[in-house]
Amino acid sequence: MSSEMPTESPEVPTENTVPAEVPDVEGKVKSNDGQVERQEAGSGKAQCLEPMSKRQRKKLLKQKQWEEQKDLRRQKRKEKRQKRKLERQSKLDSNNEGNDRKRMRKEVVPSTLRLIVDCSFDDLMVLKDVKKLHKQIQRCYAENRKAFHPVQFYLTSHGGQLKNNMNENDKGWVNWKDIQIKTEHYSELIKKEDLVYLTSDSPDVLGELDEKKAYVIGGLVDHNHHKGITYKKAVELGIGHAQLPLGNFVKMNSRKVLAVNHVFEIILAYLEKRDWKEAFFSVLPQRKGAVPLGETNDASRHVLSEKEDGDNDLDSN
Ligand SMILES: C[S@@+](CC[C@H](N)C(=O)[O-])C[C@H]1O[C@@H](n2cnc3c(N)ncnc32)[C@H](O)[C@@H]1O
């Protein structure tokens, strides 16, 4: 190797490899001319001099974005507030609707029609049937309390087995409201000319209901053992009588003798709908096989016979 060849020595720095100022480990800066200056931490000078770290750059960017999105965030907060306000408003509106509905439900217009359950057949029934009658009466009471046009409800000739059963199983009956529970016979309480006995054996068919009249339902569960008994009583007393116009609208699987509560509910439904057909179909149970006249009853094959049907206290007649 010739001695004239350039050699690279670590002690001899080349141009460009040595920065103008090099910080030493103590934070002092050595200038090229050999002077030593103290670098103040955080000073603008240092910021300019030090290259920004990745973390600092990220932080700065985030800060910038945060500033830029200030308006957007304000806008979003405003929208959220408006949305909540709207939600509150619509909740209030729906509550008011509920109140309206409640008010509507309370806007009951009582009918002047008197509807009597004649309990004078008490000694013709065995206890099992008295219990069924009791349930039917409870149903009449409940339905009347719920009705849009409740009737003037009477229980007459109240006593005997029925009263005992009510005392035993439903002591609350003494506090029943909007009902007249009387020991007297209906003929002692109401003018003869106002009375109409509802009975399926009457040749007369009911047309319109006359709200000045008092209609009587026989308080009897007899499985037709006492056929025609209420019709005979009405004739004996010389009062009006009528059967419901079932035959005009409904084809029945069984006889047209209905349970006390069904007759009661049909009257309530008629007072509301003013339409017999609608009243019948809103009340009569399917297993009675009631179908509108002119339509076939496919369900009739599945309909229970009257005897089987009789096990249901509210359908028993
Ligand atoms: C189970 S029935 C009693 C049947 C009893 N054998 C009779 O002669 O009335 C209960 C009461 O509902 C009334 N009722 C039943 N079906 C009726 C109908 N188709 N038309 C009018 N009233 C009816 C009658 O007042 C009847 O007394």
Query: Which structure tokens are listed for 147?
Result: 């009705």
Contact indicator for 293, 272 with CB cutoff of 8 Å: no
- Cα-to-centroid distance, 71 and ligand 1 (Å): 80
Most confident of 28-32, 183-187, 253-257: 183-187
Residue to probe by mutation, ligand 1, list 205, 258, 262, 309, most atoms within 8 Å of CB: 258
User: Of ligand 1's atoms, which has the minimum distance to the CA of residue 226?
Assistant: 6
For residue 299, pLDDT over 90 is answered with no
Residue 265 CB neighbour total at 10 angstroms: 22
Amino acid at 42: G
How far is residue 275's CA from residue 165's CA, in Å, rounded to a whole number? 36
- Cα-to-centroid distance, 33 and ligand 1 (Å): 128
How far is residue 297's CA from residue 286's CA, in Å, rounded to a whole number? 10
pTM: 0.66
For residue 198, pLDDT over 60 is answered with yes
Helix (H, G, I), strand (E, B), or coil: what is residue 243? strand
For residue 30, pLDDT over 80 is answered with no
Name which residue sits closest to atom 19 of ligand 1, judged by CA. Answer: 200
How far is residue 263's CA from residue 217's CA, in Å, rounded to a whole number? 8
Convert the pLDDT of each residue in 163-181 to its tens digit: 999 999 999 999 999 999 9
Q: What is the pLDDT of residue 87?
A: 84
Q: What is the pLDDT of residue 163?
A: 98
Contact indicator for 109, 148 with CB cutoff of 8 Å: yes
User: Of ligand 1's atoms, which has the minimum distance to the CA of residue 221?
Assistant: 1
Kindly give, in sequence order, each residue whose CB lies less than 8 Å from that of residue 116, ignoring residues fewer than 6 positions away.
154, 155, 156, 186, 190, 214, 215, 216, 217
Bigger pLDDT: 26 vs 274: 274
How far is residue 210's CA from residue 112's CA, in Å, rounded to a whole number? 9
Q: What is the pLDDT of residue 91?
A: 76
Q: What is the pLDDT of residue 85?
A: 87
Q: What is the pLDDT of residue 98?
A: 59
User: Of ligand 1's atoms, which has the minimum distance to the CA of residue 225?
Assistant: 6
Residues 185-193, mean pLDDT to the nearest whole number: 98
Query: What is the pLDDT confidence band of residue 107, given thresholds at 50, 70 and 90?
Result: confident
User: Of ligand 1's atoms, which has the minimum distance to the CA of residue 316?
Assistant: 1
Query: Which structure tokens are listed for 29?
Result: 């800066």
Most confident of 14-28, 70-84, 112-126: 112-126
Residues 136-163, mean pLDDT to the nearest whole number: 98
Which strands make up the sheet holding 214-218, listed edge to edge?
179-181, 152-156, 114-118, 214-218, 195-198, 240-242
Catalytic residue among 122, 129, 222, 313: 222
How far is residue 137's CA from residue 314's CA, in Å, rounded to a whole number? 9
Name which residue sits closest to atom 11 of ligand 1, judged by CA. Answer: 218
Beta-bridged to residue 242, according to DSSP, are 198
Residue to probe by mutation, ligand 1, list 200, 235, 239, 306, most atoms within 8 Å of CB: 200
For residue 37, pLDDT over 70 is answered with no
For residue 247, pLDDT over 50 is answered with yes
Q: Is 222 an active-site residue?
A: yes
DSSP β-ladder status, 28-31 and 36-38: antiparallel
Residues 126-155, mean pLDDT to the nearest whole number: 98
Q: Which residues line ligand 1 (CB under 6 A)?
A: 198-200, 217-218, 220, 222, 224, 226-230, 243-244, 246, 256-260, 263, 317
- Cα-to-centroid distance, 262 and ligand 1 (Å): 10
- Cα-to-centroid distance, 104 and ligand 1 (Å): 34
Residue to probe by mutation, ligand 1, list 157, 201, 257, most atoms within 8 Å of CB: 257
- Cα-to-centroid distance, 231 and ligand 1 (Å): 9
User: Of ligand 1's atoms, which has the minimum distance to the CA of residue 227?
Assistant: 6
For residue 219, pLDDT over 90 is answered with yes
How far is residue 24's CA from residue 45's CA, in Å, rounded to a whole number? 17
Name which residue sits closest to atom 9 of ligand 1, judged by CA. Answer: 230
Mean predicted lDDT score pLDDT of the chain: 79
272: closest CA among 258, 284, 283?
Answer: 283
Helix (H, G, I), strand (E, B), or coil: what is residue 57? helix
Most confident of 48-57, 209-218, 273-282, 302-311: 209-218
Residues 196-223, mean pLDDT to the nearest whole number: 97
Residues 261-275, mean pLDDT to the nearest whole number: 97
Name which residue sits closest to atom 26 of ligand 1, judged by CA. Answer: 218
